[in-house]
Structures are given as C-alpha cells and as structure tokens.
Amino acid sequence: MATNTSVISPTEVAAKARHQERILGTHFWNPPYLIPLVEVVRGRETSEEAMEITYQVMKNAGKHPIKVMKDAPGFVANRLQHALWREAISIVENGIADAATVDEAVKNSFAIRLPVLGPLENADMVGLDMTLAIHDYILKYIESSPSPSPILREKVEKGELGFKTGQGFQTWSAEEADRSRRNLLEYLLDWVQRERGKTT
C-alpha cells in the first residue's frame, strides 16, 4: 500500500497496520502527468522487497523514481524546495529585494542550470574546497529559523493568499494568474516533448 502524501511520514500512516512492511510512500509531483519524479519513501518497517517492487512499477509506468531510504519529513525534493522558499521569503522580509526581483533572480540564474546540473554535482564542479570557503562565510547570513516567516503568517492572516485572492507576495490580476499557470504548463509540455525526442 502506497500513500501519495508530499510530507506526512509513511511510518505514521502505517502505525496501526498489521503488515507495516508492505506500506511505503510514493510521492508524485504535480502535475503528475508531466513531472517525472516519484519519491519512493521507505517507512521504518518497509521491506526491501516492497521498495524494489514499487520502484520497478514506477519505472515501468514511465516515471523517474528515486529511493528515499530514510523516512524524514518532506522527503527529498520538498525539503530542498522549501529551504529555497524560506530563504526567498527572508530576502523579501529583510528588504534585500522585492518578491518579483527574487523570482527574476532565480529564473535567470541557477534555475537555468538545474535541469542538467544538480546542486551537489555543481559543488563538485566548482570544487569542495571552494564550496567550504563560501559556506564558512555565507551560511551565518542565510535564514535558519525553524518557524514560518512572520511576513508569511501575517499575509495569511490578512487573507492575502496569492493567486486565489489576487494578492500574495505580489499582486495578481486574474489574467496574470492565468498567464503564469499557462506559462508553466506550456514550458512543461515543451520539456516533455524535447525529452521524448531524445529517446526516439
């Protein structure tokens, strides 16, 4: 039995089950018909057999599964995504740049490399000695709060929820929100077509 939760522990889901060794996580990323990743997440009691069978089922279905070998909140990709979001929100909250500028900086710099250069591959490329030197300097300045940002909490309390209300970190007309969604869908469709072209 597999749960599609994006953050909840499969171990917790399996807690009252008779056969906990047969329960695991399969986190599909949205939209699942375009995003290839599926995180196959081992619960505390999940058997190796259940992990391997599920991994192969996902591969046979045309997905790109990864094995998450330890049940940790947020698994792999959401932990990475929300670490980036935390720092992005902190930059806005501390007046370093506004929300549009933060998004512009990401879209026009390292985001362009990410489809072909993962963060640890990038660290190896620049050299771990350089990575260590940078971290020795910069990590103390990067947001490390274990609590959500006060500005995020304040916006939610004020009903500024993003696209659905027209106001979030930025102001969104219905047309602008639709354009953003359409841009994402068109980009993903184009990416899928290119990837299929590589295999034919």
- Quote the number of domains for the chain: 3
Domain enclosing residue 6, as ranges: 2-68
Contacts 24+ apart (CB under 8 A), 146-155: 149/86, 149/89, 149/90, 149/93, 150/93, 151/89, 151/92, 151/93, 152/89
**pLDDT value at 199 more than 80:** no
Task: Report the pLDDT value the prediction gives residue 195, as an integer from 0 to 100.
Answer: 85
Task: Report the pLDDT value the prediction gives residue 99, as an integer from 0 to 100.
Answer: 98
CATH of residue 122: 1.10.1040.10
Task: Report the pLDDT value the prediction gives residue 172, as an integer from 0 to 100.
Answer: 98
Q: Summarize the confidence of residues 7-30 as an average pLDDT.
A: 94
Residues acting as catalytic residues: 6, 27, 39, 78
In a domain, 51, yes or no: yes
Residues 95 and 59 in one domain: no
Give percent of the chain above pLDDT 90: 93
Which domain-ending residue is among 68, 103, 120? 68
How sure is the predictor about 196, in pLDDT bands with cuts at 50, 70 and 90?
Answer: confident
CATH of residue 29: 3.40.50.720
How sure is the predictor about 200, in pLDDT bands with cuts at 50, 70 and 90?
Answer: low
Task: Report the pLDDT value the prediction gives residue 42, as an integer from 0 to 100.
Answer: 97
Q: Summarize the confidence of residues 168-175 as an average pLDDT.
A: 97
pTM for the structure as a whole: 0.90
Task: Report the pLDDT value the prediction gives residue 122, as an integer from 0 to 100.
Answer: 97
Strands in 64-68's sheet, in edge-to-edge order, are 2-3, 24-28, 37-42, 64-68
**pLDDT value at 98 more than 70:** yes
Task: Report the pLDDT value the prediction gives residue 138, as an integer from 0 to 100.
Answer: 97
Residues 83 and 120 in one domain: yes
In a domain, 154, yes or no: no
